Structures are given as structure tokens and as C-alpha cells.
Amino acid sequence: MTSIGALAVSAACLLSACGGGSTSSETSASTAPSGGTSASAIKLINPGKLTTCTNLPYEPFQFKQGDKVVGFDVDIVDLAAKKLGVTQDIVDIDFAVIKSGAALNAGKCDVAAAGMTITPERQKNLLFSEPYFDATQALLAKKGSGVKSLDDVKAKGLKLGAQASTTGLDYVKGKGLNPTEFADSPKELLGLQSGQADVIVQDIPVVLTWLKKPEIADKFELAASLDTGEQYGVGMKMGNDALAKVLNDAITAAKSDGTYEQIYVKWFGKKPGELGT
């Protein structure tokens, strides 16, 4: 969720309104990372759990499969949970509260994994892991629209839609467009299907996942790929360097031993670097 935006409401007010079934508490526990990854104790908000804030659904990064939350981001954070010898507990929270750092600062979670692009603005409020996914944006349009670029959207006077608080939104605004904003990705897709938008901008893995569904592929198509050079990172509370080291070590090891590629192929059906080709 390549995303950006401002939230000028207190963390306490927002979090009390948008908590999505959280089981987290304000108590902290310490656990020593396995495998000698760090000599420092890692303080977790719940004993025996690495609590992750996310925003559902955002398939294939995080979404519900029955009663269980699964996805690419879930598997990436599980790498760190395994290193710590704990299980991952997932909390569904509004994305704007995640990317602002409010959820982490209020002790709602230890990490935030929500398809979140690393940006200079977010780095003021969040400590990010090393990048774990190279992202890009895409345009999804009605078949036969003739759209191949944002310039076509402008020239044809088409209605553009984007997900609120995302870098996709910021990117198209930076190109001089004023899209209709939708609260989340499902509402954005519904906006396209219902005619509120003729074209929408969204991360390409999300668009490709939508297009696997016949009812969407029959009417819509990937109109263009926008290479924005974005990268996702796992967010943590500022100063939580010990946990960041565990995450970074886990991601580095997974990329080295082939585990990362296995996870990538599992969720995207292609190897790293081949997405969208």
C-alpha cells in the first residue's frame, strides 16, 4: 500500500475507533532471539507473540483465508517470528494509523507489515526494515478504453480512482491528476466496477491478483505499468534497533538460502524480477 497521507488526530482517539479484533495488551515481554542473531533482549508487547499491525484485505500481501490471515507479508514476518521462537499475532487496523506510527507508538503492535512503501516522510515516524519487496504501480481500466498511460487518462477526460493514503494516490497527483479517493482497495475496485471510476491506480501485484478472477478479467485489463521505483519495508517503533536487526537478519538469510524466492513464487507465481512480465 504504497501510501502516504497525514493524520492529524490523536493516536488514542483513532486507535479506539479502528481496532480490528486486537488481542494485544500493553504489557511487555522479553525474548532472546534464537540462532545468536542478537545479544539484546527483544521486548514484545505480548508474551510469546510477535504482534503485527496490518490493514485487511490487501491480497496477495495480507488477506483472510477462512479464519486465518495469510499472504506474502505474513510469511515475511513469520521469518522473524521463527528467529525469535514466537508465533505471529495479526491485528487489523486502519492503514493511516499504521503508516503514521500511531499504532506502534500506542503499543498496539511490535511491527507493521501492510504492503507499506518506504518513504522519507514515513521514515520520520517509523523505523523500517531493509526492503523486502520491489513495488510498482499499475493502471486497471475497462477493456477497450485505449488507455496506455496517465497522459491518455488526461487526454480522454476519464475518471481516475486511487486508494486513499497511498503512494499511488500521491504519484498520480504529482502528475497533475485529481483522482477520486477510495478508503481501501476493495472499495477502489468496486468504484471501478460501478462506474465511479474509469481507471484506477494500484500496486501491480494487487491488480494481477484481481485479474485472476474471471468476472474482473472479462471486463477489465492491465492498461499500463508505472515504474515508480518503490520498495516495501516492515515498520517498527523508532529506536527499536534490536528488533530491526532480527528482521533484517531474517530477510537477508531468506534471500540467501532460497526461502525468499520460494515465498515469492508461492504468492506471485513468478520469481523476483519477473512480476508483470
Contact 110, 52 (CB under 8 A): yes
CATH no. of 136-230 = 3.40.190.10
What mean pLDDT do residues 181-200 have? 96
Question: Could you tell me the pTM of the whole model?
Answer: 0.77
Q: Is the confidence at residue 98, as pLDDT, over 90?
A: yes
* Alpha carbon distance 185, 187 (integer Å): 5
**Would strands 29-31 and 42-44 be described as parallel, antiparallel, or unpaired?**
antiparallel
Segment 1-38, tens digit of pLDDT: 654 343 333 333 333 333 333 333 333 344 544 444 43
Instruction: For the chain, give every residue range classified as CATH 3.40.190.10.
Output: 11-132+233-268, 136-230
Segment 241-276, tens digit of pLDDT: 999 999 999 999 999 999 999 999 999 998 998 886
Indicate the CATH number of 11-132+233-268 among 3.40.640.10, 3.40.50.1360, 3.10.290.20, 3.40.190.10.
3.40.190.10
Q: Which among 151, 127, 129, 128 is positioned nearest to 139, based on CA atoms?
A: 151
